[in-house]
Amino acid sequence: MEACDLLIRNASEVVTLAGAAPRVRAALDRPEVVVQGAVAVAGGKIVAVGSAAQVEARFRPAAVLDAQGGAIVPGFVDAHTHPVFGATREAEFDMRLRGRTYQEISAAGGGIFSSVRSLRAASSAELARLVHARFDRFLTAGTTTIEAKSGYGLNREDEIRSLEILRDAAAEHPLEVVPTFLGAHQVPEEYSAARSEYLDFVIQRVLPEVRARRLAVACDVFCDQGAYTVAESRRLLDAARRQGFALRVHADELAPVGAAELAAELCAASADHLCRVSDAGIAALCAAGTTAVLLPGTVLSLGAKALPPARRLIDEGAIVAIASDFNPGTSYLLSMPCVIAIACTLLRMTVAEALAAATINAAWSLGIADRIGSIEEGKQADLLLLEHPSHLFLAYQLGENPVAAVVKRGRVVYERPALEIRR
């Protein structure tokens, strides 16, 4: 028998998502399930996945984890988050319920601007404490990897400080972080009459430092009505690409400004939101292979006025991922099981499609699908034990955490405490 570090046994099913990456069209709905499966882990990696009988006969494990008849799925990969912020903005949520729009609140100095004021005023120790606590919440909801953006500093010092806080938090937490620079989340208030100067400053002074210090691998911009124009975004993204950054774009959420077309033109890794994407934008994303990252929690939180065209994107062959967009303004939601459920009920994705979009396709958009996003021999052992016997419960049961245990790099990093009160 072969030695291994950990054997996970007694699973009703292992949803492997093995094979093609990224998954498009019909393959997105083909999760590759091993019934009555087991997974063997050694050195932080998956060394075998298959039927329980085969795997258990082959390995002598140092430790055993009993799935207790639940399903095993890959750890969630959240490809769009904004976890570095100070104060929450629940009052704005209430204002929206009372009829004010997101744009009105922003134009009155709220929205992103209020989070910028709050972040600039917060100490690094306080921000680090908040980020660490948020990382804990991601992990217990089954997210094992996040893309994480700066974007509430909007000056050199506070953007860099945000990225440093992400780096330091990731170094001491099991959650894996892929950092993105979002210095063009909005035009800072102090530059409202000199927009172009701010972009010059970012391109010439901030991006090179971020790159040299490896504080971010991607550059993002909010390209939309009330934020950056397509021309401004093109200038920034083109410069970022030349400096070696991958590109991500907040695209066509509020108006069909042509941001998806721009993302495709520049071969961006992702175009995100897409609630108002045009037909030409959909075609361009498909042709370029730019991942469409849909954010169902944001759609729900903003009142679901325009839905991103998930079915059309899938049918036309786009690479589709889903993410939380966790942020204090438009999506104070980081549970990927909830995001999956909303993608199914609101965007009409199947559970299998939503699960692939939340794992392997999300990893693809981050350039790490060779290592993360599926349960296959040779991949990093990032996986979840669910309390239910089928992955279908991820959407069927909305609003409760179905995650019983989380394994990251082969280590059990979270186990749900047993219920203390039984009646």
Cα 152 off chain centre by:
18
| CB closer to ligand NIG out of 12 and 180 | 180
Point out which span in 110-118, 347-355, 378-386, 394-402 binds ligand NIG (CB under 6 A). Answer: 110-118
Least separation in angstroms between CB 298 and Fe ion: 7
Task: Give the CA distances from residue 161 to residues 81, 120, 157, 166, in Å, rounded to whole numbers and listed in that order.
Answer: 17, 10, 6, 9
Output DSSP code: residue 204: I
Q: Which of 176, 325, 353, 387 binds ligand NIG (CB under 6 A)?
A: 325
Give the CA radius of gyration of the chain: 21
Least separation in angstroms between CB 103 and ligand NIG: 11
> How far is it between the farthest Cα atoms of the chain?
71
Cα 298 off chain centre by:
13
Q: Which of 113, 138, 222, 228 binds ligand NIG (CB under 6 A)?
A: 222
Binding to ligand NIG by residue 78, rule CB under 6 A?
no
d(CA 19, CA 204) in angstroms, rounded, equals 42
* Partner that binds at residue 330, options Fe ion, ligand NIG, none, CB closer than 5 to 8 Å by kind: ligand NIG
Q: Which of 134, 250, 379, 408 binds ligand NIG (CB under 6 A)?
A: 250
* Partner that binds at residue 274, options Fe ion, ligand NIG, none, CB closer than 5 to 8 Å by kind: none
Q: Which two tokens stand for residue 418?
A: 């047993």
Least separation in angstroms between CB 281 and ligand NIG: 16
Other Cβ atoms closer than 10 A to 98? 7
* Cα torsion 9, 11, 13, 19: sign: negative
* Partner that binds at residue 111, options ligand NIG, Fe ion, none, CB closer than 5 to 8 Å by kind: ligand NIG
The number of CA neighbours under 13 Å toward the Cβ of 184 is 36
Which residue lies nearest ligand NIG, judged by its C-beta? 329
Q: Tell whether omega for the bond before 22 is within 30 degrees of 0, i.e. cis.
A: yes
Picking from 243, 192, 202, 252, the residue whose alpha carbon sits closest to that of residue 222 is 252
Least separation in angstroms between CB 332 and Fe ion: 12
Which residue lies nearest Fe ion, judged by its C-beta? 325
Least separation in angstroms between CB 92 and ligand NIG: 8
* Partner that binds at residue 413, options ligand NIG, Fe ion, none, CB closer than 5 to 8 Å by kind: none
Do the beta carbons of residue 72 and residue 37 sit within 8 Å?
A: yes
Q: Are strands 143-149 and 176-184 parallel, antiparallel or unpaired?
A: parallel
Q: Which of 10, 16, 115, 180 binds ligand NIG (CB under 6 A)?
A: 115
Which secondary-structure segment (H or E) carries 93? Answer: helix 90-97
| CB closer to ligand NIG out of 254 and 384 | 254
Do the beta carbons of residue 286 and residue 72 sit within 8 Å?
A: no
Interface map 281-310 toward ligand NIG (x if CB under 6 A): -----------------x------------
| CB closer to ligand NIG out of 227 and 383 | 227
Binding to ligand NIG by residue 170, rule CB under 6 A?
no
Picking from 265, 330, 336, the residue whose alpha carbon sits closest to that of residue 304 is 330
- Footprint of Fe ion on this chain (CB under 5 A)? 325
| CB closer to ligand NIG out of 86 and 111 | 111
Interface map 329-348 toward ligand NIG (x if CB under 6 A): xx------------------
Picking from 221, 326, 318, 330, the residue whose alpha carbon sits closest to that of residue 277 is 318
Which secondary-structure segment (H or E) carries 132? Answer: helix 124-140
Least separation in angstroms between CB 327 and ligand NIG: 5
Q: Which residues bind ligand NIG (CB under 6 A)?
A: 111-112, 115, 222, 250, 253, 298, 325, 327-330
